[in-house]
Amino acid sequence: MKRTLGTCYYPEHWPKSTWKDDATRMADLGLTWVRIGEFAWSQLEPTAGAYDFGWLDDAIETLGAAGLRVVLGTPTATPPRWMLDRHPDMLAMDPKGRPRKFGSRRHYCFSHEGYKQECARIVTALARRYGRNPHVAAWQTDNEYGCHDTTISYSEAARSAFRLWLRARYPGDGNDGDIDALNGAWGNVFWSMKYDDFDQIGLPNLTVTEPNPAHSLAFRRFSSDQVVRFNRLQTDILRARTNAPIAHNYMGRITDFDHFAVGADLDIASWDSYPLGFLEDRVGATPDHQRRFARQGDPDFQAFHHDLYRAVGRGRWWVMEQQPGPVNWAPYNPAPLPGMVRLWSWEAFAHGAEAVCYFRWRQAPMAQEQMHAGLLRPDNAEAPAMHEVRQLASEISGAPAVGASCTSVALIFDYDADFAWSVQPHGQGLSYFGLVFQVYQAMRTLGLSIDILPPDTTDFSGYRLIAAPGLMHMPDALKEALLQSGAQVVVGPRSGARDQDMSIPVPLPPALPGIDVTVSYVESLRPDMPVPLQGDGAVTHYVEALEGSATVDLVSQDGAAIAMSGMNTQYVGGWLDHQGWRRVLRQACTKAGVDTLNLPEGLRLRDTETERFWFNHNAKPVTFSGRVFPAASVSRDTP
């Protein structure tokens, strides 16, 4: 597969007389893809049932005639205003029970049957008209599921659907739900929370104090399943009418639905990469780090998502939206350092992307995203990123095809664990994503290339080191597969800490085969009370008391066991700091026979089967191993 470039374009925002010139400029720039249509419902169906496809026919024809391949988005993220008159109760409800309003986007509840029928109708109409159009070479469902906190809705529609979902989850004999099974699994004898019937069960919001964590976790899983079903409704319709691949554009650090489950119905995973916006509002970095990388973005955050979405797409993935200049939505919105747009794009290719598309072609002079750069300014002149994209287009035309991943290091990522941690963090600021990302960062500073794997992986062949931190519920099959993998395995903290219904299992966690270690109790710690380790590093935020006969590998300064190992497995009983994780992982690599490096801050590498890439994310040159890497640069070694 060739490496390709593209852009996001909104023909409906510009006079028709300009489309041909835009298309020619895109093609001349060396772009392959142009994504259109994902917010255009009110243009496609100005009043209910009265379609206007003429303009889209012309836009697709104009773009296609210029040699571009169209990614057509379904417009279901932006229901028109008239939709609310037909379905006044289709709005999602926030945790306080207030409806989200019309006037921006994503104002719908995933459980609303009437809205879903409307979506099925518009998607069917689009698929019929464009499913076999030769210029429509890919589809995108909706836009950024979950964006603006929209996965979870506390609406009436959600409540009814949740009850049905629970009946199916606790089926009993008659398949109509066994309420005693639910009461037993959730421990509803506690605080007299027992139900007599599924129809008595409400949503876990507005309770006096916290709801039962089992109830909350069930609702999180249900909400995730509703996204999967919503997406599947569209893919079923599209598949019947097109052979073009179907994608969705996921986001950075949005974990409130299971992307692996959505991805199972799609051909390509794509995601929207805004490195500078993320550094400000999503990475969770210190102010020093934010200042240092303000114009470059975090050196690991994009890479993490590239690896995650490569797994979600089962190998096929794109960047559907790449930041080309300042954005509008973060607390502060600086411009990228010259060279960074090229670096970000090459980084995506290094992690296996088939395409990188820039958001957006031209900056909009109106509405919410006026302050968001494009490749062109509103007056049609070139914005600063344009020359980097031009350079890239010529570079990729001579470069090898998309390189397959080739690493012996794996990291498991489990959305369900993220749900469980967020239901029961046990300490302020503790999150599953935060933990896994910290392990990923430590791996990257050791110069490792990483495959992220889903939690239902059973075949670990080819991997010599597997890290699976924080898997709150660890099915026996996974424990067994890890034991049998022959790799060095690093698990914990909180691995296997809860059963599938969020109770503490007995025998006590982690109950791993082949290693005698038990977590006897746990504590969460104030951020200002780290527990230093003997040697380098410390435990911060969260620590477990470990007992058992396994070998003690890591000890705190006051003599408590922090990590223990047996057979091929090491259990880490605490949230380690960066130095602590580096120590644990370096040791595991040594045992596994995996080479490590000691990369300087901001320098990262990525290996594929045929290339080694070096990325210097620093604003100044860095010397490593006698080699100088210029500021904000990419270096590519081909053997």
Q: Measured from the CB atom, is 271 or 463 closer to ligand GAL?
A: 271
User: Is 144 known to be catalytic?
Assistant: yes
CB 64 within 8 A of CB 135: yes
Q: Measured from the CB atom, is 327 or 546 closer to ligand GAL?
A: 327
H/E segment holding residue 382: none
| Distance in Å, CB of 7 to ligand GAL, minimum | 13
Could you give the 3-state DSSP secondary structure of residue 216? helix
Helix, strand, coil percentages, rounded to 5, for the chain: 35, 20, 45
| Residues near 356 by beta carbon (within 8 Å), at least 6 away in sequence | 4, 5, 6, 318, 319, 322, 345, 348, 349
Residue span binding ligand GAL (CB under 6 A) among the ranges 131-139, 143-151, 214-222, 467-475: 143-151
Residues in 367-406 at the binding interface with ligand GAL, rule: CB under 6 A: 369, 372
Q: Whose structure tokens read 């597997």?
A: 466
Rounded to a whole number of angstroms, the CA Rg of the chain reads 25
Q: Judged by CB under 6 A, does residue 147 bind ligand GAL? A: yes
Q: Measured from the CB atom, is 147 or 511 closer to ligand GAL?
A: 147
Q: Judged by CB under 6 A, does residue 144 bind ligand GAL? A: yes
CB 277 within 8 A of CB 174: no
Q: Measured from the CB atom, is 298 or 321 closer to ligand GAL?
A: 321
Single out the residue of 143, 242, 608, 633 in contact with ligand GAL (rule: CB under 6 A).
Answer: 143
| Distance in Å, CB of 327 to ligand GAL, minimum | 5
Q: Measured from the CB atom, is 150 or 153 closer to ligand GAL?
A: 150
What tokens does 242 get? Answer: 């097109």
| Distance in Å, CB of 373 to ligand GAL, minimum | 9
Residue span binding ligand GAL (CB under 6 A) among the ranges 18-26, 81-89, 141-149, 597-605: 141-149
CB 116 within 8 A of CB 230: yes
Pairing status of strand 33-36 against strand 4-8: parallel
Question: Alpha-carbon distance 141 to 242, whole Å?
Answer: 13
Of 106, 413, 108, 111, nearest in space to 258 by CA:
413
Single out the residue of 22, 272, 300, 451 in contact with ligand GAL (rule: CB under 6 A).
Answer: 272
Q: Measured from the CB atom, is 307 or 321 closer to ligand GAL?
A: 321
| Distance in Å, CB of 368 to ligand GAL, minimum | 8
| Residues near 15 by beta carbon (within 8 Å), at least 6 away in sequence | none
Q: Measured from the CB atom, is 51 or 329 closer to ligand GAL?
A: 329
Residue span binding ligand GAL (CB under 6 A) among the ranges 139-147, 221-229, 401-409, 487-495: 139-147
Phi, psi of 372 (to 5 degrees): -105, 120
- Mark residue 103 as left, alpha or beta (left: phi above 0; alpha: psi -120 to 50; beta: remaining): left
Q: Measured from the CB atom, is 73 or 177 closer to ligand GAL?
A: 73
Single out the residue of 321, 451, 544, 577 in contact with ligand GAL (rule: CB under 6 A).
Answer: 321
> From the candidates 38, 321, 354, 544, which is the catalytic residue?
321
Residue span binding ligand GAL (CB under 6 A) among the ranges 18-26, 59-67, 142-150, 201-209: 142-150
| Distance in Å, CB of 15 to ligand GAL, minimum | 21
SS (HEC) of 544-571: EEEECCCEEEEEECCCCEEEEEECCEEE
| Distance in Å, CB of 104 to ligand GAL, minimum | 10
Q: Measured from the CB atom, is 372 or 617 closer to ligand GAL?
A: 372
Single out the residue of 327, 420, 472, 572 in contact with ligand GAL (rule: CB under 6 A).
Answer: 327
What tokens does 388 get? Answer: 């980097």
Cα three-residue angle 480-482-487, rounded to 5 degrees = 140
| Residues near 209 by beta carbon (within 8 Å), at least 6 away in sequence | none
Name 70's bridge partners.
Answer: 34, 136
Q: Measured from the CB atom, is 72 or 564 closer to ligand GAL?
A: 72
| Distance in Å, CB of 277 to ligand GAL, minimum | 7
Question: Alpha-carbon distance 149 to 107, whole Å?
Answer: 11
CB 33 within 8 A of CB 71: yes
Applying CB under 6 A, the site for ligand GAL has a residue count of 11
| Residues near 279 by beta carbon (within 8 Å), at least 6 away in sequence | 285, 290, 293, 294, 297, 298, 301, 330
> From the candidates 144, 280, 354, 388, which is the catalytic residue?
144
Q: Measured from the CB atom, is 45 or 272 closer to ligand GAL?
A: 272
Question: Alpha-carbon distance 90 to 95, whole Å?
Answer: 16
Pairing status of strand 317-322 against strand 268-273: parallel
Name 624's bridge partners.
Answer: 627
Secondary structure tally for the chain: helices H, strands E: 18, 24
Question: Alpha-carbon distance 246 to 66, whole Å?
Answer: 23
| Distance in Å, CB of 229 to ligand GAL, minimum | 22
| Distance in Å, CB of 338 to ligand GAL, minimum | 20
Of 206, 224, 204, 207, nearest in space to 215 by CA:
204
| Distance in Å, CB of 529 to ligand GAL, minimum | 38
Residues in 155-174 at the binding interface with ligand GAL, rule: CB under 6 A: none
| Distance in Å, CB of 3 to ligand GAL, minimum | 22
Question: Alpha-carbon distance 245 to 255, whole Å?
Answer: 24
CB 471 within 8 A of CB 478: yes
Q: Judged by CB under 6 A, does residue 359 bind ligand GAL? A: yes
User: Is 480 known to be catalytic?
Assistant: no
Residues of the shown chain interacting with ligand GAL in the complex, contacts defined by CB under 6 A: 143-144, 147, 272, 274, 321, 327, 329, 359, 369, 372
Catalytic residues: 144, 321
